[in-house]
Structure 1
């Protein structure tokens, strides 16, 4: 171009002023803003006539910060300038594109969204990425993370490095999003296109060091340097001058570099049990691996940045005879409102056991179970109405089991504000609904259940259905997970029969258990001024089910706590009930005044302050029945596959269907399933006709079904 006030010709003159269309006068400039003599020249020269000076606009302090682009073969735009911290903001002269670099959390990402214009999801993933050189090996194609910005537009970005082999380093966004449920709720309800801004809590030196390290690692990657640290997120602690590496695992189901249909094929595949000899028949159950082996194999899933679980820590206030550990938020509790979020933040996933290793393993498995049971967007669905699907579909009322009277009085039930007693709207058979395939173990065929009954979600489903954790289980193998999920169904079904009918059950003879752990719990509770007893709740399935209870003696309120357990071995069922009861003991620990419980659940607080054995006599053992160890007629096996076959026959004999959904996540590889048996009861108040009224009569515990008006209206709050 030719300058208006000079005869020089150069391809590197200052460009045309964008606002006026006039050319700027000045010396020829190089690409980096210097004259040919090596001296810096201003962006807009004032040497020419006054009419050629462009309009003023905000400028950075001198000298401006610059981040250069990569070589011409990979550059996608001009250099992008960023402000120094504390000097204010201005619009970038060029849009952010894959050829430009930007440190994570740098100005312009969230606190001032007008400063950047992110690329389209098809060209750049939730990452500040660089365009690789032509000599680079294939890498994971960038892709926006689904579900993070329901309003579209700008989205939060997370840095990612790629290795020589596709998928060596995967995006960390899904893991980080799982640790920031409160921010996601604010983003959704405030209608923000990006994450909610937060006050800057850093010094300029720390931000600059992080930016320089990020730029250095990017340059090394472009130069072909590969090392193990590139598959990790590094955290720089400027207070202690230390760095922590948080590994980033590959995502086999990544929609860009992996197999996006992997989860769908896994869900639709038949569930075929294989031989799994029992390696551990002590402690908490019959498993294919010991608790220590489980920790060694899956301990890498615990990480505060890139892990599924932030950490595993011992629960506060636990007595010395209780082993209880917490492992992050309980994703089974939705966060569609502020009240739900607060309840979910208080309700943590947890694990219990006879030993600390057992409890840590239990906490790890429960957290992974909740994570795997959350909908991620790659699950197979069929959208159609129940009426159009035919016999392959299972009606949701067969699983939820609300009575017609509850549905007609749903406003009164929901007015209590209890999420345990919530009654949804009646299901419309002609309304299009999302359905997910499940495998029928009894019929060896595929069935369909509403997706919203199978996966936890952040938003309430349009059909009014909501998933719960009943039947969800993780295990050392798929067979182990199936058995644990089925045992939970048996346990809660038996609890519902006892609790809502107020049945008097025989006591479990704790002396005959001959178990050091049982003696330890009884001694510890006695020192704390509490009494312990157990009830035999075994139902028509013949699998031992135990309820363990404890109350404060010699004072009011009695603060009754309870826990439940089911297993083929009655001694293990008793242990499970005692360990679950122990999880509630810190909430009613000595020294509390009855108004400051560790758990804020209204149902639990009301129960602890008012319930006594005198006004709830079904909590006490049946005086007419002799105490025995929990009985059962389930045969003993040495292989988990034989147990699966046996429980399948139990369900078939009772005219029910054993349905299994494989929820194992390919990137975790820890087996997780959801087991559903339509007709079996949840221990929440659901009063449809069926087992709740028929089984107590069939077992001889009642002479006739309990009238609806006489059912126990207090929900089980465990």
Structure 2
């Protein structure tokens, strides 16, 4: 049975995962990783893709040790819950047999026709980053997962390959999608897990629209934050420079992007977050940015051997749109921007007003007993370069300049 409060959830997860504190960069942000214990790994069907050997490591962050450890446990529970165990209740059918309730893979994947046409050359270079499946054959029988309509409509069915992490490996010719963690979350309750999953989808949508549309956005002053933790003072004092951008979209849910670089604008690290309040979003984005600086520092030492970072480090600087803050107004002093009530209903209503469909898949596993959900949308943009979404280059009143209509030429986000 799923846990009903945060303390019960923490006690349950402490029995299932080992936590390792990571060395930080000398500031107040603490980092930790959580790895499944042997007893959990030995369970029938435990997903091998949830092990560090697969390249997936559950990393948490916080402004103290307790916070980073709790975050790491949550990430670990999310990864294990949302990976394919092989015992899921699925429906095998053609899309036409299911009818209008079927959400076809191309609608969720979000690849444009030109992206699919160039999939062979892309996959040769980016197989492990964002593998593109072959075009979907609607006459083929595939496995589908029933999902809940967040707006109260009838259930829908989504491809199991999209819903579950690691269900099909990159390069599998039978795969219609490659499941990732986009829109996945755990929580102390089903409500809080759905809320966190939806916020992540909204965050990723905002990040994609900002980055691939090269949208100029307001720069926020770090002074909007309470510096009780000492984070702002530490960021101001260190050699690297830091910026905050308000990348809130038409949904009205506050989303912040944090960026740091060396003094000359090189070696850019990014972080993103969506929260009911812009200050909460800014703080979470900053801590994610600091977390991203860890692999970036390793890439600097590896040089050309750090393949995942080579193009990013050679190309992206703080002069690279949309990072160039020149001309963007800076909000000085304490700032209070309108947000939304911190409730799931408010998020769902915000999506409905924007014509955004939203579904929830219950990913809770008996082995963990912690509520886990995946939020899915056929309209919200993916943080990876999936260029078919109409929203990607759509107008937004928050933009300070025109959208650049060439997303295919933008460097993929590295976060």
Category of TM-score, reference length = shorter chain = 0.7 to 0.9
* Structure with the bigger percentage of strand: 2
Match of 2:44 in 1: none
Q: CA deviation at 1:529?
A: 1.4
Cα 1:363/1:406, change in 2 over 3 Å: same
Partner Cα distance (2:109, 2:374) in 1: 15
Q: Which of 2, 15, 35 is the aligned partner of 1:328?
A: 35
Secondary structure (helix, strand or coil) at the match of 1:449 reads strand
Partner Cα distance (2:348, 2:54) in 1: 35
Matched, 1:677 2:389: no
Mark the structure with the bigger radius of gyration: 1
* Residues 184, 372 of structure 2: 8 Å contact kept: yes
* Residues 168, 175 of structure 2: 8 Å contact kept: no
Cα 1:463/1:588, change in 2 over 3 Å: closer
Q: Which of 186, 208, 211 is the aligned partner of 1:496?
A: 208
Partner Cα distance (1:601, 1:632) in 2: 40
Match of 2:412 in 1: 715
* Residues 109, 177 of structure 2: 8 Å contact kept: no
Q: TM-score, normalised by structure 1?
A: 0.52
Q: Which of 300, 320, 326 is the aligned partner of 2:15?
A: 300
Q: CA deviation at 1:686?
A: 0.9
Matched, 1:687 2:375: no
**Within 5 A, what are the aligned runs for 1:577-588?**
577-588=285-296
Cα 1:424/1:478, change in 2 over 3 Å: same
Alignment deviations for residues 201-223 of structure 1 (CA, whole Å, 9 cap, x no partner): xxxxxxxxxxxxxxxxxxxxxxx
Match of 1:606 in 2: 311
Match of 2:327 in 1: 623
**Within 5 A, what are the aligned runs for 1:169-568?**
289=5, 294-302=9-17, 311-328=18-35, 344-345=54-55, 347-457=56-166, 459-460=168-169, 462-517=174-229, 520-553=230-263, 558-568=266-276
Secondary structure (helix, strand or coil) at the match of 1:417 reads helix
Cα 1:424/1:558, change in 2 over 3 Å: same
Q: Which of 629, 633, 650 is the aligned partner of 2:338?
A: 633
Partner Cα distance (1:397, 1:523) in 2: 46
* Structure with the bigger percentage of helix: 2
Partner Cα distance (1:384, 1:593) in 2: 45
Q: CA deviation at 1:544?
A: 0.8
Q: CA deviation at 1:565?
A: 0.9
Q: CA deviation at 1:449?
A: 0.4
* Residues 222, 232 of structure 2: 8 Å contact kept: no
Cα 1:361/1:299, change in 2 over 3 Å: same
Q: CA deviation at 1:342?
A: 8.9
Unaligned runs of 5+ in 1: 1-251, 253-265, 267-287, 303-310, 638-642
Q: TM-score, normalised by structure 2?
A: 0.87
Partner Cα distance (1:666, 1:335) in 2: 17
Alignment deviations for residues 553-577 of structure 1 (CA, whole Å, 9 cap, x no partner): 15xx822111111100222111110
Cα 1:488/1:631, change in 2 over 3 Å: farther
Cα 1:534/1:362, change in 2 over 3 Å: same
Partner Cα distance (2:400, 2:134) in 1: 34
**Within 5 A, what are the aligned runs for 1:22-37?**
none
* Residues 420, 717 of structure 1: 8 Å contact kept: no
Cα 1:312/1:335, change in 2 over 3 Å: closer
Match of 1:279 in 2: none
Q: CA deviation at 1:578?
A: 1.1
Q: CA deviation at 1:533?
A: 1.4
Cα 1:702/1:621, change in 2 over 3 Å: closer
Partner Cα distance (1:617, 1:474) in 2: 34
Alignment deviations for residues 351-385 of structure 1 (CA, whole Å, 9 cap, x no partner): 11122111111100111111111222221111111
Q: Which has the higher contact order (CA 8 A, sep 6+)?
A: 2
- Aligned pair count reads 402
Partner Cα distance (2:86, 2:294) in 1: 38
Cα 1:474/1:314, change in 2 over 3 Å: same
Cα 1:469/1:632, change in 2 over 3 Å: farther
* Residues 401, 686 of structure 1: 8 Å contact kept: yes
Alignment deviations for residues 219-249 of structure 1 (CA, whole Å, 9 cap, x no partner): xxxxxxxxxxxxxxxxxxxxxxxxxxxxxxx
Q: CA deviation at 1:691?
A: 0.2
Q: Which moved further from structure 2: 479-488 or 405-414?
A: 405-414
Q: CA deviation at 1:695?
A: 3.5
**Within 5 A, what are the aligned runs for 1:63-78?**
none
Alignment deviations for residues 132-182 of structure 1 (CA, whole Å, 9 cap, x no partner): xxxxxxxxxxxxxxxxxxxxxxxxxxxxxxxxxxxxxxxxxxxxxxxxxxx
